[in-house]
Structure 1
Amino acid sequence: MDPIIAATHADPYPYYARLRAEGGLVFHQGLKLWVASSARSVAAVLAHPDCHVRPAAEPVPKAIADGMAGKVFGQLMRMNEGERQRCPRSAIQPGLALIDENEINALVSARLITPDADGLYNAMFRGPVCVVAALLGFSPAQGRAISELMADFIACLAPLSDQVQLKASHAAAEQLRGYFVELLDDPDNRSALFAGIRTRFAGEAETLIANLIGLFSQTYEATAGLIGNAIVALIQNPSLLRDSTRVDHLIAEIQRFDPPVQNTRRFVAALCEIEGVKLNSGDVILVLLASANRDPQLNDSPDAFILDRPHRRSFTFGAGRHQCPGQMLALGIASATLSEILVHQPALDRLAWKYRPSLNGRIPVFSDSP
């Protein structure tokens, strides 16, 4: 086991506990990077101004730098610092926080969900993207097309993708850009969310388009992981399915207990000291968000699944200047989708799952057991 393999291991949490016991911020000789595993060290790294989201020498991964996916990547607020991060964030975040929960519920309930493995896949991956598309003013047909393109586009964000997948990602980025160009030019768009974003945004249109594509990419994977890991929890602990169980409480606890994003990275931009450790420019820090969530210094009884947990704290959506702006939207879509899935009474005991190959994500894909 190492901190990267742990993301898709059946149960990485005992291993994370051992890492925390070794020290909050330690160097991993095998991976040749620093590992932050405690709540204290994770908070310190995420807050430090010299810990950046991309290495200075490679702002865009070399594998995609020459294509459209690379152009999109290079403009994403989540992959930039300073004004390139603040401008799109200040335009997009306020509107996401104001979305009506009833509107999300209505959009989710309008979708056809079947209780088999294929139905769960569509509900987890395609459904959330379609909901966000509708909120921005796309038609249902456009939303379905965008959700299909997003499945190809996210390959540009995954270091494990091969050349065929990366080529498809560039093509998907071109098509996604086309949809957003049309959205910007549509005089009949009645989306309050989109209108607010346009009013607040003061940058170039291409930057706005890239960050709206980025909003969909984060929706695609993170929300799917929230839904999927909640289903895994229900399979492993059927008692959670009591009639009195509030699905929103279940989703809130699962994002802490078994999060879809297990780790992220930070790249040291200048000589600095964090938690008594001297770091050099160019050092890489693997930030174990999932480990910090289980730190007893952050949450009491951290290895217990407590639906009505008081004072729940979590790093799943990040912290500080790069905290995910769509946290409430993701939780709302995940809760509404899981509620709709459970209405159809899926045979959970007949489902098997494995985790999608990933260096940082924990996203189950289900199959129907023979």
Structure 2
Amino acid sequence: MDPIIAATHADPYPYYAQLRAEGGLFFHQGLKVWVASSAHAVASVLAHPDCHVRPSYEPVPKAIVGGMAGKVFSQLMRMNEGERQRCPRSAIQPGLALIDVDEVNALVGARLITPGADGLYKAMFRGPVCVVAALLGFSPAQGRVISELTADFVACLSPLSDQAQLKVAHVTAEQLSGYFVELLDDPNNQSTLLAGIRHRLAAISGDSEMLIANLIGLFSQTYEATAGLIGNALLALIRNPSLHSESTPVDDLIAEVQRFDPSVQNTPRFIAAPCEIEGVRLNPGDMILVLLASANRDPQLNDHPDVFLLDRPDRRSFTFGAGRHQCPGQKLALGIASATLRQILAMKPSLDRLAWHYRPSLNGRIPLFSDCP
């Protein structure tokens, strides 16, 4: 076991506890990276100005430099620091925080969710992107196409993708950009979310390419993280049958799942200048693997952290990050996940008839379901 393999292990949490016992920030000889495993160390790394989301020597992964996917990647706020991070964030974040939960519920409720593993897959991966597309003003038909394109685009974000997948990612980046060019030129667009984003961005920048790149980024972040949140909530019900009832408070279930068994297990940070964190001297180029899921189970962050509690008081979590790179769409993701899970449970699915395995990933914990024979 190592901190990378742990992300898709059946139960990585005892291992994370062992890592915390070794110290909050330590050097992993096998991976040749620093590992932050405790709540205090994770908070310190995420807050430190010299801990960047990309290495200075490779702002865009070599595998996609020169193509459209690389061009989009280079402008994503989640992959930048300073003004290139603050500018798009200040335009997008306020609108995401104001989205009405009833509108999200209505958009999820309008989608047909079918029984079985195939229906679950579409509800987990395609549905959330379709909801975000609708909030931005795309038609339902466009949303379905965009969800398919997003599935191909996210390949550029994974080191596990092969050359064929990366080639497709460049093509889909072009296509997604085209959809947004048309949307931004549409005088009949009625999206209050998009209007607000454009208004705030116009006050600080006229860079339409940056806007389009970060709206594509909104789809890509929605795609995997929300799918994992929904899927891990289903696993919580499978593992704890007593939770599976009509009276289960779904919002509380989703809130505890994102702490207890998050879809994003870790995230990297790269040292940009000599600094000291947790008493450790770090040098430019050093990499820190930040174990968000381990920090969530730290007793210093949550009492009785290994117990699944729907009514947990003062629930704290690093799943959506912290500091300047905290996910701006947390409220939206939780809302979509809750609404989708309610729709799934309304079908009274036979959860005991499902088999599952985790999607291959270096940092994501996303179950894929199949129907038992």
Pick the TM interval, shorter chain. Answer: over 0.9
1:1-370 alignment, distance < 5 Å: 1-201=1-201, 202-203=204-205, 204-370=207-373
User: What's the TM-score, normalizing by structure 2?
Assistant: 0.99
SS of equivalent residue, structure 1 residue 365: strand
Instruction: Compute the displacement of 1:288 (Å).
Output: 0.1
- Map Cα deviations across residues 12-62 of structure 1 (whole Å, 9 max, x no partner): 000000000000000000000000000000000000000000000100000
- Map Cα deviations across residues 291-320 of structure 1 (whole Å, 9 max, x no partner): 000000000000000001000000000000
* Whole-angstrom CA distance in 2 between matches of 1:356 and 1:166: 18
Instruction: Give the residue type in structure 2 aligned to 1:259.
Output: P
* Whole-angstrom CA distance in 2 between matches of 1:332 and 1:319: 19
* Whole-angstrom CA distance in 2 between matches of 1:68 and 1:242: 47
Instruction: Compute the displacement of 1:163 (Å).
Output: 0.3
Instruction: Give the residue type in structure 1 aligned to 2:104.
Output: I
Instruction: Compute the displacement of 1:241 (Å).
Output: 1.4
* Whole-angstrom CA distance in 1 between matches of 2:218 and 2:185: 20
Q: Structure 1: which 5+ residue stretches go unaligned? A: none
- Map Cα deviations across residues 49-94 of structure 1 (whole Å, 9 max, x no partner): 0000000010000000111000000000000000000000000000
Q: Structure 2: which 5+ residue stretches go unaligned? A: none
SS of equivalent residue, structure 2 residue 370: strand
- Map Cα deviations across residues 100-128 of structure 1 (whole Å, 9 max, x no partner): 10000000010010120000000000000
Q: Percent identity?
A: 82
SS of equivalent residue, structure 1 residue 180: helix
Instruction: Give the residue type in structure 1 aligned to 2:212.
Output: I
Instruction: Compute the displacement of 1:256 (Å).
Output: 0.2
* Whole-angstrom CA distance in 2 between matches of 1:58 and 1:87: 22
Number of aligned pairs? 370
- Map Cα deviations across residues 239-280 of structure 1 (whole Å, 9 max, x no partner): 011332110000000000000000000000011000101101
What do you get for the CA RMSD once the two structures are aligned?
0.5
* Whole-angstrom CA distance in 2 between matches of 1:222 and 1:164: 23
* Whole-angstrom CA distance in 2 between matches of 1:190 and 1:94: 18
SS of equivalent residue, structure 2 residue 269: strand
* Whole-angstrom CA distance in 2 between matches of 1:353 and 1:170: 30
Instruction: Give the residue type in structure 2 aligned to 1:136.
Output: L
* Whole-angstrom CA distance in 2 between matches of 1:258 and 1:229: 7
SS of equivalent residue, structure 2 residue 281: strand
User: What's the TM-score, normalizing by structure 1?
Assistant: 1.00
- Map Cα deviations across residues 312-344 of structure 1 (whole Å, 9 max, x no partner): 000000000000000000000000000000001
Instruction: Compute the displacement of 1:191 (Å).
Output: 0.4
SS of equivalent residue, structure 1 residue 278: strand
- Map Cα deviations across residues 139-195 of structure 1 (whole Å, 9 max, x no partner): 001000000000100000000000000001001000000000001100000000000
SS of equivalent residue, structure 1 residue 310: coil
Instruction: Give the residue type in structure 1 aligned to 2:78.
Output: R
* Whole-angstrom CA distance in 1 between matches of 2:100 and 2:324: 25
- Map Cα deviations across residues 212-257 of structure 1 (whole Å, 9 max, x no partner): 0000000000000000000011011110113321100000000000
Instruction: Give the residue type in structure 2 aligned to 1:125.
Output: F
